[in-house]
């Protein structure tokens, strides 16, 4: 039923669906992350491999994953299973300054480490030339260094696979929906894991509509801004449709349409906007600058958020109903587009996203109304 490296090549690489989440990297010597891409170094002929088994662009049976992780079938077709929804922001301005929006992700991670809920967090850091890479954070400084985003995807999960780990750490992971899906696949894999997935105690998922290809986006930035250092990058949601980039000392506004060409091809088939297999998912709040939307999905997620509130690490408010319905619509729209894109590439027929026909129909009809 599963496949190996050759399936990964055929079904994912050759179709340009790889999003370089890093789930397949550092498991074996055949794959490596390089300049934002996952690169094949040699051919491996194993019939079954973790590379394909963990790949979020490999086969995904949402029902099965849901049953195993949440104890029931996949029904929540918009934003996944949710225990609690609200909006929040970090109290400490150290986070709100550098991080996206309300700084809740950084603040929660910091708290989780401080309180010993986790010993280390796998985050996305940036190396030379803003190259995204997995980073293992064990203190506030590490977290601070990783705060913020330039919307290029990178091999964050490579760091989880690679370590180094002592073998007894409790681990947190902050990742994009593709990474959170990969973690879910790792957790439910029938293959011998040899990864620290069993020690992942907290997964904070980010909202994501797409990510940019590192190489081409960097080329664009270089062409635009030369050698000026790139600072914070933000996306202003509709109706603005702008990318706000600080280059040197100046803030620049770039129409989103100009960067859409750099969206990773593999993002177009992604049906998950809100990291549906996380403990807590965090994103923006449309029209509320400086705030985050929080979707709490699990009890351990709930505990962390409660702790954060009680220690006044974050402040929270109910999410207004219209914001929530906007979120649901946007999420559903992403699903519908993903289903269309996957159908175009033949992936739906091959069972690469297993959803009931009924659910597919529902998604397609409802999101049309919603859109």
Joined together, the tokens standing for residue 324 give: 């929530």
Give the count of beta carbons closer than 10 Å to the beta carbon of residue 91.
Answer: 17
Question: Does residue 172 contact residue 180 with C-beta atoms inside 8 Å?
Answer: no
Among 93, 194, 310, 357, binds another protein (CB under 8 A): 194
Helix (H, G, I), strand (E, B) or coil at 200: strand
* Minimum distance of another protein from residue 192's CB (angstroms): 7
Q: Cα angle vertex 110, ends 196, 287, to 5°?
A: 110
When the beta carbons of 50 and 297 are compared against another protein, the nearer one is: 50
Q: Could you tell me the smallest distance in angstroms from the CB atom of residue 243 to another protein?
A: 26
By CB under 8 A, the count of residues binding another protein is 24
**Closest distance to another protein from the beta carbon of 221 (Å):** 18
Q: Does 217 bind another protein (CB under 8 A)?
A: no
Kindly report the CA angle at 44 between 49 and 34, in degrees rounded to 5? 90
Q: Under the criterion CB under 8 A, does residue 28 sit at the interface with another protein?
A: yes
Distances (CA, A) of 21 to 37, 71, 122, 128, 339: 9, 26, 12, 19, 21
164 contributes a contact to another protein by CB under 8 A: no
Q: Which of 8, 17, 21, 27 binds another protein (CB under 8 A)?
A: 27
Q: Given the rule CB under 8 A, which of 66-74, 98-106, 186-194, 266-274 is the region that contacts another protein? A: 186-194
DSSP code per residue over 68-131: HHHSS----TTT---SEEEEEEESSHHHHHHSSTT-HHHHHHHHHHHTTS-SEEEEEEE-GGG-
Q: Which is nearer to another protein, 46 or 359 (by Cβ)?
A: 46
130 lies in the site for another protein, by CB under 8 A = no
Indicate the SS3 state at residue 323. Answer: helix
Closest to 24 (Cα-Cα) out of 218, 162, 117: 162
Candidates 22-30, 126-134, 237-245, 262-270: pick the segment binding another protein (CB under 8 A): 22-30
Does 369 sit near another protein (CB under 8 A)?
no
For residues 65 and 54, the answer to whether their CB atoms sit within 8 Å is no
Q: What is the residue-wise DSSP string for 129-141?
A: GG-EEEEEE-SHH
Nearest distance, CB of residue 334 and another protein, angstroms = 29
What is the distance between the alpha carbons of residues 300 and 188, in angstroms, rounded to a whole number? 19
Cβ nearer to another protein, comparing 48 with 303: 48
> Residue 50 or residue 126: which is nearer to another protein going by CB?
50
- Residue 259 near residue 217 (C-beta atoms within 8 A): yes
The residue within the footprint of another protein, chosen from 127, 138, 139, 191 (CB under 8 A), is 191
Find the shortest distance in angstroms from Cβ 40 to another protein: 6
What is the nearest approach in angstroms of another protein to the Cβ of residue 29?
A: 4
Restricted to residues 32-71, the positions that interact with another protein (CB under 8 A) are 32, 34-35, 37, 39-46, 48-51
Instruction: Please report whether residue 129 would count as binding another protein according to CB under 8 A.
Output: no
The residues binding another protein (CB under 8 A) are 4, 27-30, 32, 34-35, 37, 39-46, 48-51, 191-192, 194
């Amino acid at each position: 039923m599963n496949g190996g490296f050759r399936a990964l090549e055929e079904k994912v690489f050759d179709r340009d669906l790889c999003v370089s989440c890093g789930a397949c990297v550092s498991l074996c010597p055949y794959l490596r992350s390089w300049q934002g891409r996952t690169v094949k170094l040699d051919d491996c002929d194993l019939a079954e491999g973790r590379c394909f088994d963990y790949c979020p662009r490999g086969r995904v049976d949402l029902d099965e994953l849901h049953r195993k992780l949440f104890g029931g079938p996949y029904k929540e077709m918009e934003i996944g299973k949710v225990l609690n929804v609200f909006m929040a922001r970090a109290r400490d301005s150290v986070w709100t300054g550098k991080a996206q929006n309300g700084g809740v992700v950084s603040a929660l991670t910091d708290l989780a480490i401080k309180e010993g809920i986790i010993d280390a967090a796998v985050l996305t850091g940036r190396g030379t030339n803003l190259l995204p890479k997995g980073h293992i954070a064990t203190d506030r400084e590490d977290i601070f260094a990783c705060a913020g985003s330039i919307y290029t995807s990178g091999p964050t999960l490579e760091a989880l696979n690679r370590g180094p780990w002592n073998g007894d750490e409790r681990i947190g992971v902050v990742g994009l929906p593709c990474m959170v899906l990969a973690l879910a696949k790792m957790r439910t894999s029938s293959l011998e894991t040899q990864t620290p997935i069993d020690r992942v105690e907290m997964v904070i998922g980010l909202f994501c509509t797409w990510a940019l290809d590192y190489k081409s986006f960097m080329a664009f930035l270089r062409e635009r801004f030369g050698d000026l250092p790139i600072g914070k990058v933000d996306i202003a949601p509709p109706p603005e449709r702008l990318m706000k980039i600080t280059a040197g000392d100046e803030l620049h506004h770039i129409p989103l349409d100009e960067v859409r060409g750099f969206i990773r091809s593999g993002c177009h088939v992604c049906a998950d906007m809100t990291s549906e297999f996380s403990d807590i998912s965090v994103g923006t709040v449309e029209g509320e600058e400086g705030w985050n939307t929080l979707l709490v999905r699990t009890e351990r997620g709930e505990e962390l958020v409660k702790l954060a509130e009680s220690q006044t690490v974050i402040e929270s408010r109910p999410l207004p109903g219209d914001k929530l319905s906007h979120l649901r619509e946007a999420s559903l729209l992403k699903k519908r587009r993903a289903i269309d894109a996957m159908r175009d590439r033949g992936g739906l027929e091959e069972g690469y996203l297993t959803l009931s026909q009924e659910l597919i129909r529902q998604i397609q009809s409802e999101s049309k109304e919603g859109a």
